[in-house]
Amino acid sequence: MELLDLLHDPDISLRSPEKVMDPTTLGSARLTRLSFSRSMIRRAASKNWKLKRTSIDLDESGRGQIIYRVDAEGYIFHFVAFTTTIDESLHTDRVIADAWEISAALIEGELDEAFLDLLNREVPKQEDGRLDSRVLALTRGNRSVRFYEYLVDQLASGSQPEPSLVGDAGYIMRSTAFYGNGKFGMRSFLGYESEHPLFAPYRAQFLAAWLFRETSYDSVEYCAQIRNPEKAVSFDKDWNQFFGLGNSTGLGLVPWAMKHPEEVNAWVGVRELALANVRKLDGSPERKRLLEKWIDQAYHHFSSFNGEDCWPWKGPDSLSEAILEIHRTFSSMTDEDHPFDALYLWAENQGPEVNELVVSLLLELDETSDEVVDELLRVDTSAVSDLSITIEDLEKRLTENYSWLEQLDLESSAADHYWWVYSDHAEEPRRADRSILDPEHRDVPIDIALRLNHLKKDLDKADKTTKVSIFLQDFPHHGIAINRLMKDSGPYGEPRENVCDLNHLPLNLQRFQLAMYGMDNFKAQSTDWLRVTLFQGAPRIAELNADTFDDWVWPQQPKREQEKILHD
């Protein structure tokens, strides 16, 4: 069945777009079992992908090259990482950096010497490099200045890390970009055939991210071995899955969300369909036990970290308190016919962060197959709009689907305070103050709310029987707004905000997308960028097998050696 048919099915009780697409709700999203990191690892495990490191050639500072090979469903992939060291002063989370300690690519097919030479030459250049359709994803990042050397020294001396020194960040290396889909000559996403194992959205980037994280582990353990072959140890069981991959994210996610309503609708839509499924379920003992297990896991994860709230979001201390309250509440509801629905309804009055945390927990009960979800996520944006409809029809669509624009105060002076622009340094997205800088045709057209508002005024004056195609001949600048109206992206395609408004908070759209990816540990660094962690708790590649269970997220911070002894 098509996604839009499901989302318009009156028999499926979905949350309203008014609630779900509200910026604060979007900015409270958490990872779920549908998040791309988890669905990628489930696919790898269930389809018996074979991953192995085929070469590692590093010096004692960790400079060199690491290659991994992936055999997946008859396809061969390689992840090639080039590593070096750069002065700490050159470390930056911004996309504008010119040098990185790790640069890597995921490629399809076998690696020969000539191809490896090309990768060696082009991959470290990142945005300035030129790749070809054999390359599926390109990434880069840096080591954690605080932790990398410490971890190598600890393992080299035969010790495990001290939790209080490294546990709060939860990563060894931090990525700053994952490129794919035709950028710099790489394979286009639509170029993957339907049976391709990386056919689902962002699966190539997430395979690359998982192997980037593996690179960080291998690099530390290998350097420790070089430095002290006699005494060096590997990470023990507790630490072996704890570290994820850090990531820092800036304004680039906002233009993406505003330019891709069909994709946003699909991401939100599959989550909302899953939530509707779960809310209908009765409270069988197995399901109740499963939810209690997840509540327990979330509690132990957040309570093993110490952390106060970090504006604008709750920190680990508040979250673990909230989870205790969720647990108490659910315990009082277990005799109800539909306890999961009851829990959800309670959560609706607990504020957006608790509400979305409960959604995340409830979704663990959803049993929709990954194949179905992958298909629903794959949207077709190629449909051509029928321009033979009239202005009257167009106005009707505007009224039916965009009445929420009236709540945005689009006539105020704050409404077009900002315009969006790409800087000439690595095409970094920025916001510019209109009163200081004139766009002069350089604006990135993501001012959708403003455009629709302008269109509405011109439609009011137009002859209602005029065809849209004729109207467009006189008003070609309304093309983007009309296209938005003509294509039914679905109920969840539009974040209900004006991204040019003085009070727009980019963090909301950023967190929404990062949660869909499967990232957590959100730490806002300003209104415009944040740090997160992904794959924390995930299996390492050697541990992956068909029995790998999908419960690796939200790991506990490892305990100190003494605490372990006491605990045992």
Partner 1 sequence: MTSKEIFVAPREIHDLIQRASRVKGCEASVAERIASKITFCEINYGGGIKGWLQLVADDKNCLTETFKSVQVLDSLPSKDSLDFSWNPSIPFAFIAQSLNALQAYGFAWESSPKVPTGDMQIQCVCLNKLNSEKLDSNNKTNKAFSKGLQVNNDEWKKLVGIASRFLLSEKILDDAHSAVYE
Nearer to partner 1, 158 or 182 (CB): 182
Let me know: does 251 contact 313? Beta carbons within 8 Å. Answer: no
Task: Give the integer Cα–Cα distance in Å for 13 and 122.
Answer: 50
Q: Does 467 bind partner 1 (CB under 8 A)?
A: yes
Return the residues of window 509-548 that contact partner 1 according to CB under 8 A.
Answer: 525-529
Task: Give the integer Cα–Cα distance in Å for 455 and 29.
Answer: 32
- Rounded to whole angstroms, the maximal C-alpha distance in the chain is 85
Q: Does 472 bind partner 1 (CB under 8 A)?
A: yes
Smallest gap from Cβ 89 to partner 1, in A, equals: 13
Q: Does 186 bind partner 1 (CB under 8 A)?
A: yes
177 token code pair:
């970009």
Smallest gap from Cβ 423 to partner 1, in A, equals: 4
DSSP H stretches of helix in 132-202? 148-156, 163-166
Work out the burial of residue 408: count CB atoms within 10 Å of its CB; fewer than 13 is exposed, 13-18 middle, 19 or more buried: middle
Return the residues of window 108-137 that contact partner 1 according to CB under 8 A.
Answer: 130, 132-133
At 176, is the secondary structure helix, strand, or coil? Answer: strand
Residue (of 492, 500, 24, 14) closest to 261 by Cα position: 492
Q: Does 48 bind partner 1 (CB under 8 A)?
A: no
Q: Does 187 bind partner 1 (CB under 8 A)?
A: yes
Nearer to partner 1, 395 or 428 (CB): 428
Nearer to partner 1, 18 or 438 (CB): 438
Smallest gap from Cβ 432 to partner 1, in A, equals: 5
Site string for partner 1, 69-98 (x = CB under 8 A): -----------------------xxx-x--
Nearer to partner 1, 303 or 466 (CB): 466
Nearer to partner 1, 133 or 164 (CB): 133
Smallest gap from Cβ 306 to partner 1, in A, equals: 26
Tell me how far apart the terminal alpha carbons of the chain are, to the nearest angstrom: 52
**Which long-range CB contacts under 8 A does 50-56 form with residues at least 24 apart?**
51/211, 51/541, 51/544, 52/541, 52/542, 53/214, 53/218, 53/541, 54/78, 56/218, 56/222
Near partner 1 by CB under 8 A, which window of 21-29, 430-438, 532-540, 553-561?
430-438
Nearer to partner 1, 183 or 560 (CB): 183
Smallest gap from Cβ 447 to partner 1, in A, equals: 9
Task: Give the integer Cα–Cα distance in Å for 292 and 532.
Answer: 26
Nearer to partner 1, 441 or 461 (CB): 441
Residue from the set 75, 115, 256, 422 that interacts with partner 1 by CB under 8 A: 422
Residue from the set 428, 458, 550, 551 that interacts with partner 1 by CB under 8 A: 428
Let me know: does 134 contact 206? Beta carbons within 8 Å. Answer: no
Smallest gap from Cβ 527 to partner 1, in A, equals: 7
Q: Does 383 bind partner 1 (CB under 8 A)?
A: no
Near partner 1 by CB under 8 A, which window of 298-306, 345-353, 418-426, 493-501?
418-426
Cβ neighbours, 10 Å, residue 403? 10
CA dihedral 95, 101, 103, 104 (to 10 degrees): -130
Let me know: does 506 contact 528? Beta carbons within 8 Å. Answer: yes
Residues that bind partner 1 (CB under 8 A): 92-94, 96, 130, 132-133, 181-183, 185-193, 250-251, 384, 387-388, 418, 421-425, 427-428, 430-433, 436-437, 441-443, 445, 467, 469-470, 472-473, 476-481, 483, 525-529
